Chain A
Amino acid sequence: MRFPDPRPSPTLLSSRTGMDISHARILIVDDSPLIRELIGACLQTEGYRNIGYAENGQDALDVIEETEPDLIILDLEMPVMDGFTLCQKLRSKDATRDIPILVESGLDSATDITRAFEYGASDMIAKPIKKYEITARTRVHLEHHFFVRALTDYHNRVASELEQARHLQFDLCPSDDDLALLEHRYGVRIRSRYEPSSELGGDIWGVLPVSDSQLAFYIADFSGHGVAAALNTFRLQTCLATLSGHYDRPAVLLNRLNTFLYRILKSGSYATMLFACLDLEAGLIRFAGAGSQPPLHMGNQPPASLQFCNSHGMPLGLRPDWEYQEYTVPFDPDMQFMLYSDALIEVEDSTGAHLGESGLCLDMQDILAGPERADPVKALAGRFASRLGSQAPDDLTIFLIARTGRDA
């Protein structure tokens, strides 16, 4: 037997949730023609107009193969294939795993009921069939089924859109190929790590060529996480592109970005940022900070001297017309300079205290003295991950630039 074409419903089926469930496909599986008709008639008078019938488990499988029902009303004792076996088969396949199965049976011992549920029945009705009971339970299971399906569809759609947005966000940051070209052109080595804590992050970093001897770079971190923070990284990127004339003047650049973000961000929202410009001819890095973590400068005489640079400044978007201070550090061959987001030092160490700048400094000394020195960023990210454990993650960004030898 097959599902008939839907006919206009004789009465209007009103769902408590306002959902139209009259179109639901219901499959009635029973070897007794009389019971099939009785249940079918009960449902039709309620307004269901898409009812199919099968006379045993095997027959039901054939129908389901062709069209998946939204609900199955199932007898347990039948020839050819009984209801227990059908339950088991349906629950073992992905396509039919979630179809609600309402068992109607004359078997009502505790053992039978337990067995039916173990095999995957969703609910049970004892014979003789009572109209109010079968229609009420049908409605509850259908509403639940459609509601879960709608939520699942919504969830899948949003997840797929977030995944696309995540790719777009990664595309904002320089690719490995971009970096390789810049490394060659400027005689530097760049290592970076960018790990959003959820699908989308509020962190961004970038590298911007200024001239043959000047290269600018930055990291920024918007307060909060998720979609709003991520969208703001796109806005920042757009605004930055219009300010290319100021890439070699970090303090002026931050002043302009602050003015832009103060206008568009809501009160209390902001971005921290560290913007720097490497000047190869002068052998120094000029930088300015806006509430960002102090950059770490590493000297070129072993053992490398480590120094956190002063980078105080009001986070972008909090106060109007803010003047930022410009700082400089020497950047001779083999010196390194690292920017990082606060997640790196706010992670808790084994004692439960924040790692802090002192902890980061110890980490870096350890890394530079051993085999990990070839890629300190990778080593720091590894230590961060092992410390993070079950702590709530935050977006992590690390950017390190090293000036290679004069012959590079």
Chain B
Amino acid sequence: MRNHTSNDNGILNITLSDRLTFEDHEAFRRLLTLIEQRSSLRCVIDLKNVTAIDSAGLGLLMIAFETAEKAGVEFCLKSPEGQVARLLEISEFDKVMTILN
């Protein structure tokens, strides 16, 4: 996983790319501290360039949502494609969090 973060007008934008897997656990945890700091009222995780996600990666997205929920930060996933979109769909993540196409 590679990531790029920016803070624009109170929105924390996290752009992920490549694969989101178990190996990204530590790097992802560091991104969560940005959400916990509540420097932004809104967090958007852009998944457009994520090509694949494994079961641990899906778990990480749920942890990100819960972290935001606890910090009172509005949360959404953006532009999932292919296998990532399919996995989010069969797992009904859209019933818990906002997923923008």
Contacts and interface: CB of A to CB of B under 8 A. Distances in A.
Interface of A: 221, 223-224, 267-270, 272, 289, 291-294, 311-315, 318-319, 342, 346, 354, 356, 394
A312 B89 contact: yes
B92 A224 contact: no
B30 interface: no
Given A268-B62, A314-B95, A223 B90 contact: no
Interface in B42-89: 52, 54-56, 58-60, 62-63, 66, 82-83, 87, 89
Interface residues of B, number: 21
Q: Which among B56, B66, B92, B93 has the highest number of chain A CB atoms within 10 Å?
A: B92
Nearest to A265: B59
A96 B91 CA distance: 57
A292 B83 CA distance: 14
Contacts of B83: 346, 354, 356
Given A267-B66, A319-B96, A356-B83, A223 B91 contact: no
B89 A354 contact: no
Given A223-B56, A346-B83, A354-B52, A318 B62 contact: yes
A272 B90 CA distance: 10
Interface of B: 22, 52, 54-56, 58-60, 62-63, 66, 82-83, 87, 89-93, 95-96
B91 A269 contact: no
A294 B63 contact: no
Given A224-B22, A314-B96, A356-B83, A294 B90 contact: yes
A293 B82 CA distance: 15
A223 B59 contact: yes
Top-5 shortest CB links A-B:
A268-B59, A223-B55, A291-B91, A268-B63, A314-B92
A315 B56 contact: no
6 contacts: A224-B22, A268-B59, A268-B63, A269-B59, A315-B58, A319-B96
Nearest to A221: B55
A14 B55 CA distance: 49
A270 B92 CA distance: 14
Given A291-B90, A356-B83, 17 more contacts: A223-B55, A267-B66, A268-B63, A269-B59, A270-B58, A270-B62, A291-B58, A291-B87, A291-B92, A292-B90, A311-B90, A312-B91, A312-B92, A313-B90, A313-B92, A314-B91, A346-B83
A23 B54 CA distance: 51
A276 to B, nearest CB: 16
B12 to A, nearest CB: 20
B58 to A, nearest CB: 7
A314 B87 CA distance: 11
Contact of B60 (A268, A292, A319, A354): A268
A312 B86 CA distance: 10
B63 A267 contact: yes
A224 B21 CA distance: 10
Q: Which among A272, A312, A315, A354 has the highest number of chain B CB atoms within 10 Å?
A: A315
A229 B72 CA distance: 32
Nearest to B61: A268
B63 to A, nearest CB: 4
Contacts of B58: 223, 270, 291, 315
Nearest to A223: B55
B90 A289 contact: yes
